[in-house]
Amino acid sequence: MSSGGQRNWPRRVRALQDRRTRQSEGVVFVEGIRHVIDAVDAGLHVEAILVDPSRLRSARAWEMLDAAGQQGVEIVQLSPDDFARLSNRDNPVGLAATVHWRLEDLRFIDADPAGVYLATDNVRDPGNLGTIIRAADALGATALIVHKGTDPGHPTALRASLGSAFRLPIHTVETLNELFYWAQSNGVAVYGTSARAEAELPDAPLNVPAVLLLGNEGDGLAEETRDLCDGLLRIPMGGAASSLNVAVAAGILLYELQRRLSPSAGD
């Protein structure tokens, strides 16, 4: 285990707070036992694992560190003060890493004939995006497709995903036209969400492969985007609230589609 003196790691981590740096280098910062272990288990190229031995209490984490060090991963020991300077947490657990991670361009991906894809259009809150990633992973989505908004490599998004970002395939598109062209070329139906849709989710026809397309937190999907969709879905609500958090809506949509696809759904 090397000391942290060769490089200013708090400065390195601060640089990775900038989206342009993350994207140009293809490197993200992750913090937490589960997050780092998932990145290592996913086979990602780990630039360095940062550890504060005075804080790290997990036997599993120490086993991972030993195995990673034997595989040539740089393990950097930091002082409590240095680790606190790079941490995004009030009570750091003493484990973080910088990881090489780039998202795949959707244009070069073949669609799964039975795929259930979740897509976001300009979701701006990284916590929401991370929760969407976690929900997509938990509810069996084939992949997540991200258009504009915050990027999945944002530290808050990675933290909210609880490691799912490294398990779930995540693709990007520069424009929504790329998404619709990919869907049409691969025989994938695109279902948009709108509070003004005629079809309520329990009654709407849904076919796979499918993309469930969610708009951003404030404006939802633009009218021109809704017009391009194969169908529009509305989640019925019985209370005074007129809308749902976008991550909550994602979970409901995925659950309903997976429920219909379940072999027992027709029993």
> Is residue 3 over pLDDT 80?
no
Q: Could you please state the CATH topology (level 3) that the domain comprising 2-100 is classified under.
A: 60s Ribosomal Protein L30; Chain: A; (3.30.1330)
Asked if 50 and 97 touch (Cβ cutoff 8 Å), the reply is yes
Using pLDDT thresholds of 50, 70 and 90, give the confidence band for residue 6.
Answer: low
Distance of alpha carbon 22 from alpha carbon 35, whole angstroms: 17
Token pair for 160:
């909210």
Q: Residue range 178-197: average pLDDT?
A: 93
Q: Where are the domains of the chain?
A: 2-100, 104-266
Question: Which of 25-39, 56-70, 102-116, 249-263 has the least mean pLDDT?
Answer: 249-263
For the full predicted model, state whether its pTM sits above 0.75: yes
Alpha helices in the chain (DSSP H): 9-15, 19-25, 33-41, 59-70, 80-86, 126-138, 155-161, 176-185, 223-228, 246-261
pLDDT in tens, 140-169: 999 999 999 999 999 999 999 999 999 999
Q: Could you please state the CATH topology (level 3) that the domain comprising 104-266 is classified under.
A: Alpha/beta knot (3.40.1280)
Largest CA distance in the chain: 64
The secondary structure of residue 68, as a DSSP letter, is: H
Rounded to the nearest 10 degrees, the angle between the axes of helix 59-70 and helix 33-41 is 40
Asked if 231 and 204 touch (Cβ cutoff 8 Å), the reply is yes
Asked if 123 and 216 touch (Cβ cutoff 8 Å), the reply is yes
Using pLDDT thresholds of 50, 70 and 90, give the confidence band for residue 192.
Answer: very high
